[in-house]
C-alpha cells in the first residue's frame, strides 16, 4: 500500500512546481521535497549546487575545495548556517543607505569560477522587498556567455513564493528564468500552515545529483529520500495539502490581497503620524518596516520596548553592513492581522511616541538640544533622568508581563 502522506507530499510538490512555472514537459512528476522549513530546504538546495559544481570541476581536473555562494548581506541567517556547516564561503554584496537588498550588478561582479550559485531573495527578511531576479538572470546569462561558466541561481522565496504567484503573476522571478535551478518556500509562512513545513523544488532531475538521493525499501516499497532528518510527522504535509485544495488559487489570491490591503492601512496610518520613514515596499511581502525620522531623543528600541505595554511584540533591529546605522521596526501582516488590528497598532504607536516625548528626561534633553545649551552643564541631570526613565520602563514591563496577554507580531 502506498503511504497516503507521501502521496500528499508528491501532490504538494507538483502543485507548487506548477505555481513556480517549472518546465515539466512530458513528465507528470516535479522534482522536490517537503522539509521542516525553508532552512532545511536551503541546506538541501545548497548541497545539490555544491555537489554538482564539484562533480563538474573534478571532471575538468580543476580544484574544487573553495566553493562560494554570492548573496546580499541581507540574507537570512540560515544561509550563514549552510555556509558554516557545509564549508562554503558566503560572499555578501554590501547594502547601502536607502538600498536594502542585493544589487544584481554587484552580485554578478562578485561571481567567479568557484561560485556554486547566486542566491536571490524573494522577500527580504529585513524589509520584505523582492530582489530583481530577472535582472540578475539577464546579467548572469551575459557573464556565463563571456566566461564559459554556467553559474546558476537559487531563489529563496521563503515568504514571497506564496505571495508573488497570486498577486504579482506577471513578475518573472521563478523557473521562467533559465538560470533559476531551484526555489525554496516556507509552508508555515504565507503557505498558511502551522510551523514545521517548507518545500524545495528543482527545475528538473539533472539539477539534483542522483548520488544525494537515498533509497530505502524496508518500509515495504522503494522510498527515495533526500532530507536531513529521516523520520518526520506527516501532519504538516496533510495541512499543506488541505490548504492548497481547500483554498485553491482564488482562495490564496484573496488572502494575499487582503494582507496587502491591511499592510497599506498600517503604512498609511504610520505615514500620517509624520514621525516615520517607511523602508519597505508596497509590492513585496505584506509587511511594514519603518524607522524614526528623528531619533535624537528616543530610538526604535525604546518604541519596541514601550509597545510591549500595549501587548505588541514589534521587533527593532539594525540593518546589516553597510547600512548598520539604520534601525528599523517591522510588522509582518499575516492572514489574521485585520484592518482593525492595524488601526489599533497605529493608535498605540502614537501613544508610545507621545509618552516617550513627554517623559521627564526626554523633555529636558530636548530642551537642551532646542536651546543649544552647553551639554556638559546639564549632562549629569539628564543622566539622572534617564535612569529614572529606565526604572519607569522596567516597572511597566514587569506589570505588562504579569498582567496582560501579548499580541504577537512576527
Ligand atoms: C528569506 C528567508 N529565508 C529563509 C528563512 C528561514 O525559514 P524557515 O524559518 O522556514 O526555516 C526565512 C525566515 O524568516 C526567511 O525570511
Q: If pLDDT is split at 50, 70 and 90, which confidence band does 409 have? A: very low
Query: Own/partner pairs for 230-239, CB < 8 Å, 24+ apart?
Result: 232/34, 232/36, 233/196, 234/5, 234/8, 236/34, 236/187, 236/188, 236/193, 236/194, 236/196, 236/197, 237/5, 237/8, 237/9, 237/12, 237/34, 237/197, 238/5, 238/8, 239/187, 239/193, 239/194, 239/197
Instruction: Read off the pLDDT of each residue in 119-128 and give the average, rounded to a whole number.
Output: 97
Q: If pLDDT is split at 50, 70 and 90, which confidence band does 47 have? A: very high
Instruction: Read off the pLDDT of each residue in 365-378 and give the average, rounded to a whole number.
Output: 57
* Helices and strands of the chain, counted as H and E runs: 11, 15
Cβ–Cβ contacts within 10 Å for residue 245, how many? 13
- Is the pLDDT confidence value at 404 over 60? no
Helix (H, G, I), strand (E, B) or coil at 123: coil
Q: Which atom of ligand 1 is nearest to the CA of 121?
A: 1
Q: What is the pLDDT of residue 3?
A: 62
Q: How many angstroms does the Cα of residue 324 sit away from the middle of ligand 1?
A: 21
Q: If pLDDT is split at 50, 70 and 90, which confidence band does 408 have? A: very low
Instruction: Read off the pLDDT of each residue in 104-132 and give the average, rounded to a whole number.
Output: 98
Contact 42, 75 (CB under 8 A): no
* Per-residue cell: 51: 555537489
Q: If pLDDT is split at 50, 70 and 90, which confidence band does 366 have? A: low
- Residues whose CB falls within 8 Å of the CB of residue 183, separated by 6 or more in sequence, listed in order: 20, 154, 155, 157, 161, 174, 175, 200, 201
- Distance between CA atoms of 335 and 380, rounded to whole angstroms? 49
Length of the chain in terms of residues written: 410
- Distance between CA atoms of 49 and 317, rounded to whole angstroms? 32
Pocket of ligand 1 (CB under 6 A): 37-39, 76, 78, 121, 123, 125, 156, 158-159, 186, 198
Q: Which atom of ligand 1 is nearest to the CA of 75?
A: 1
Q: How many angstroms does the Cα of residue 105 sit away from the middle of ligand 1?
A: 24
Q: How many angstroms does the Cα of residue 370 sit away from the middle of ligand 1?
A: 44
Q: If pLDDT is split at 50, 70 and 90, which confidence band does 386 have? A: low
* Per-residue cell: 400: 505588562
Which 8-state DSSP code applies to residue 165?
H
Instruction: Read off the pLDDT of each residue in 324-343 and give the average, rounded to a whole number.
Output: 96
* Per-residue cell: 225: 529520500
E strand spans, 31-101: 31-35, 68-72, 89-93
* Residue labelled with grid coordinates 529606565: 390
Ligand 1 atom 7: residue of nearest CA: 38
Instruction: Read off the pLDDT of each residue in 376-405 and give the average, rounded to a whole number.
Output: 60
Q: What is the pLDDT of residue 220?
A: 76
- Is the pLDDT confidence value at 405 over 60? no
H runs (alpha helix) in 274-374: 300-307, 339-358, 360-371
Instruction: Read off the pLDDT of each residue in 100-125 and give the average, rounded to a whole number.
Output: 98
Best residue for ligand 1 mutational test, from 158, 164, 285 (most atoms within 8 Å of Cβ): 158
Q: If pLDDT is split at 50, 70 and 90, which confidence band does 406 have? A: very low
Angle, helices 360-371 vs 375-403, to 10°: value is 150
Q: If pLDDT is split at 50, 70 and 90, which confidence band does 362 have? A: low
Give the least confident one: 274-278, 327-331, 366-370: 366-370
Separation of CA 215 from chain center = 33
Instruction: Read off the pLDDT of each residue in 20-28 and give the average, rounded to a whole number.
Output: 87
Q: Which atom of ligand 1 is nearest to the CA of 37?
A: 10
Q: How many angstroms does the Cα of residue 77 sit away from the middle of ligand 1?
A: 8
Q: Which atom of ligand 1 is nearest to the CA of 125?
A: 16
Q: Average per-residue pLDDT in the chain?
A: 90
**Which is higher by pLDDT, 358 or 280?**
280
Q: What is the pLDDT of residue 62?
A: 97
Best residue for ligand 1 mutational test, from 125, 131, 185 (most atoms within 8 Å of Cβ): 125
Q: How many angstroms does the Cα of residue 129 sit away from the middle of ligand 1?
A: 14
Reported as a single tens digit per residue, the pLDDT across 259-282 is: 999 999 999 999 999 999 999 999
Q: Which atom of ligand 1 is nearest to the CA of 159?
A: 16
Q: How many angstroms does the Cα of residue 236 sit away from the middle of ligand 1?
A: 17
Whole-number percent of the chain with pLDDT over 70 = 86
DSSP H or E stretch at residue 377: helix 375-403
Residue closest to 69 by CA, chosen among 52, 55, 1, 59: 52
- Is the pLDDT confidence value at 390 over 80? no
* Residue labelled with grid coordinates 539628564: 382
- Is the pLDDT confidence value at 27 over 80? no
Q: What is the pLDDT of residue 223?
A: 77
Q: What is the pLDDT of residue 372?
A: 56
Q: Between β-strands 407-408 and 312-313, what pairing exists: parallel, antiparallel or unpaired?
A: parallel
Q: How many angstroms does the Cα of residue 13 sit away from the middle of ligand 1?
A: 19
Best residue for ligand 1 mutational test, from 36, 37, 38 (most atoms within 8 Å of Cβ): 38
Task: Classify residue 234 as left (phi > 0), alpha (psi -120 to 50) or beta.
Answer: alpha
Instruction: Read off the pLDDT of each residue in 77-102 and give the average, rounded to a whole number.
Output: 97
Per residue, the 3-state secondary structure of 241-266, as one string, reads HHHHHHHHHHHHHHHHHHHHHHHHHH
Contact 271, 41 (CB under 8 A): no
- Is the pLDDT confidence value at 129 over 90? yes
Q: Which atom of ligand 1 is nearest to the CA of 42?
A: 4
Q: How many angstroms does the Cα of residue 160 sit away from the middle of ligand 1?
A: 11
- Distance between CA atoms of 398 and 407, rounded to whole angstroms? 16
* Residue labelled with grid coordinates 507530499: 9
- Is the pLDDT confidence value at 368 over 60? no
Q: How many angstroms does the Cα of residue 79 sit away from the middle of ligand 1?
A: 9
Q: How many angstroms does the Cα of residue 26 sit away from the middle of ligand 1?
A: 33
* Domains, in order of start, for the chain: 4-232 (3.40.640.10), 251-408 (3.90.1150.160)
**Which is higher by pLDDT, 192 or 398?**
192
- Is the pLDDT confidence value at 394 over 70? no
Ligand 1 atom 16: residue of nearest CA: 125
Amino acid at each position: 500500500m502506498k503511504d497516503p502522506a507521501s502521496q500528499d507530499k508528491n501532490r504538494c510538490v507538483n502543485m507548487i512546481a506548477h505555481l513556480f512555472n517549472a518546465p515539466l514537459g512530458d513528465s507528470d512528476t516535479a522534482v522536490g521535497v517537503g522539509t521542516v522549513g525553508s532552512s532545511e530546504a536551503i541546506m538541501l538546495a545548497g548541497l545539490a549546487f555544491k555537489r554538482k559544481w564539484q562533480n563538474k570541476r573534478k571532471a575538468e581536473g580543476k580544484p574544487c575545495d573553495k566553493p562560494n555562494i554570492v548573496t546580499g548581506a541581507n540574507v537570512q541567517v540560515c544561509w550563514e548556517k549552510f555556509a558554516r556547516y557545509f564549508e562554503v564561503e558566503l560572499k555578501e554584496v554590501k547594502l547601502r543607505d536607502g538600498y536594502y537588498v542585493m544589487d544584481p550588478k554587484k552580485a554578478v561582479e562578485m561571481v567567479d569560477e568557484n561560485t556554486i550559485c547566486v542566491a536571490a531573495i524573494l522577500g527580504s527578511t529585513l524589509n520584505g522587498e523582492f530582489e530583481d531576479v530577472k535582472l540578475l538572470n539577464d546579467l548572469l546569462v551575459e557573464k556565463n556567455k563571456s566566461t564559459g561558466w554556467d553559474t546558476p541561481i537559487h531563489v529563496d522565496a521563503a515568504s514571497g513564493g506564496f505571495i508573488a504567484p497570486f498577486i504579482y503573476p506577471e513578475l518573472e522571478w521563478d523557473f521562467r528564468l533559465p538560470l533559476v535551478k531551484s526555489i525554496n518556500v516556507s509552508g508555515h509562512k504565507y503557505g498558511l500552515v502551522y510551523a514545521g513545513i517548507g518545500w524545495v523544488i528543482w527545475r528538473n532531475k539533472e539539477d539534483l545529483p542522483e548520488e544525494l538521493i537515498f533509497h530505502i525499501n524496508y518500509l515495504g516499497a522503494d522510498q527515495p529520500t533526500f532530507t536531513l532528518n529521516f523520520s518526520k510527522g506527516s501532519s504538516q504535509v496533510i495541512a499543506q495539502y488541505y490548504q492548497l485544495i481547500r483554498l485553491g488559487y482564488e482562495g490564496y489570491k484573496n488572502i494575499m490581497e487582503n494582507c496587502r490591503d491591511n499592510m497599506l492601512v498600517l503604512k498609511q496610518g504610520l505615514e500620517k503620524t509624520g514621525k516615520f520613514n517607511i523602508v519597505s515596499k508596497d509590492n513585496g511581502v505584506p509587511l511594514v518596516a519603518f524607522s524614526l525620522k528623528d531619533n535624537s531623543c528616543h530610538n526604535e528600541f525604546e518604541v519596541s520596548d514601550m509597545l510591549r505595554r500595549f501587548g505588541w511584540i514589534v521587533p527593532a533591529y539594525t540593518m546589516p553592513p553597510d547600512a548598520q546605522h539604520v534601525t528599523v521596526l517591522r510588522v509582518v501582516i499575516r492572514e489574521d492581522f485585520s484592518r482593525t488590528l492595524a488601526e489599533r497598532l497605529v493608535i498605540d504607536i502614537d501613544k508610545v511616541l507621545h509618552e516617550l516625548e513627554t517623559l521627564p528626561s526626554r523633555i529636558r534633553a530636548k530642551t537642551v538640544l532646542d536651546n543649544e545649551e552647553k551639554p556638559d552643564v546639564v549632562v549629569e541631570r539628564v543622566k539622572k533622568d534617564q535612569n529614572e526613565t529606565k526604572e519607569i520602563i522596567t516597572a511597566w514591563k514587569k506589570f505588562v508581563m504579569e498582567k496582560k496577554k501579548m499580541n504577537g507580531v512576527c
